[in-house]
Amino acid sequence: TAELLLKSEKLSVVGQLAAGVAHEIRNPLTSLRGFVQLYRTKIDQAYYQIMLSELDRINDIVSEFLVIAKPQAVVFEMNDIRKMMDDVISLLETEAALRDVQIHAELAPDMPLLYCQQNQLKQVFINVLKNAIEAMADGGEIVIQMEASEQRVVIRIKDNGCGIAEDRLPTVGEPFYTTKEKGTGLGLMICNQIMDAHEGSLRIESRVGIGTTVELILPLHNHAAA
């Protein structure tokens, strides 16, 4: 596991660097966007829209990088993950409804509290659920299941969207790998990093044209608690 350790150390240095750069980019970007808006009536509308959407794209990428910097600042606490999932579902309900996607949560009533970083783990739920919504261009259904044993909690997020080709599965989660026109390809990388910090894991099972299941596995007595 020496190599594994080295890899995660490297990631955190790169992560800190990225977050620093991201922060520095955001401020001038905001001012640039403001000035572009001043030219709204003076330039070709098509060009104007392209400029704005390209600026927004930079902002999206930079914002996702900033998430990487946060883990050091937040603390582990005992949290109700059913409640956390409920919060996230309410947050995404409008977006889901707009895309004709139904979210069904089958949450076990007797879930134990989990020692975790609430906002970070919510970020994982958000990223995974967003991917599920985005995978169903013509609408569909997301089923969320949660179960606990003595050792661990398993959260399953299942969609019946486009799926991921088998030979693409290893690539998914690599920085900047995206198949979406407006994707950043950073969502799953961030999820993996957060799951690592919880000594948990994220597994993806998928079949093209059938759908995708993302499984989040979290230990109940993790070393991160110490």
Secondary structure letter of residue 178 according to DSSP: -
Residue (153 or 189) nearer to ligand ADP, CB: 189
Q: What is the DSSP string of 152-165?
A: EEEEEEEE-SS---
Per-residue burial over 56-84, b = 16 or more CB atoms within 10 Å of its CB, e = otherwise: eeebebbebbebbbbbeeeebeebebbeb
Q: Which stretch binds ligand ADP (CB under 6 A): 25-33, 104-112, 173-181, 192-200?
A: 173-181
- Contact set for ligand ADP, span 108-167 (CB under 6 A): 127, 131-132, 135, 159, 161-164
Provide, rounded to whole angstroms, the least separation between the CB of residue 219 and Mg ion: 25
The beta-strand segments (E) located in the chain are: 77-79, 101-107, 114-116, 140-148, 152-159, 201-207, 211-219
**Six-digit token string for 205:** 């099972």
Q: Taking Cα atoms as reference points, which of 196, 194, 174 lies closest to residue 186? A: 174
Residue 207 binds: one of ligand ADP, Mg ion, none (C-beta under 5 to 8 A by kind) = none
Residue 48 binds: one of Mg ion, ligand ADP, none (C-beta under 5 to 8 A by kind) = none
- Contact set for ligand ADP, span 191-220 (CB under 6 A): 212
Selected binder of ligand ADP within 184, 198, 216, 218 (CB under 6 A)? 184
185 near ligand ADP (CB under 6 A): yes
Provide, rounded to whole angstroms, the least separation between the CB of residue 212 and ligand ADP: 4
Residue 185 binds: one of Mg ion, ligand ADP, none (C-beta under 5 to 8 A by kind) = ligand ADP
Residue (119 or 179) nearer to ligand ADP, CB: 179
State the distance between the two ends of the chain, measured CA to CA, in whole angstroms.
20
Residue 195 binds: one of ligand ADP, Mg ion, none (C-beta under 5 to 8 A by kind) = none
Residue (140 or 200) nearer to ligand ADP, CB: 140
CB 117 within 8 A of CB 197: yes
Alpha-carbon dihedral sign for residues 135, 152, 113, 8: negative
Q: Measured between alpha carbons, how far is 195 from 99 in angstroms, rounded to an integer?
A: 28
Could you list the residues that contact ligand ADP (CB under 6 A)? Answer: 127, 131-132, 135, 159, 161-164, 172, 177-180, 183-189, 212
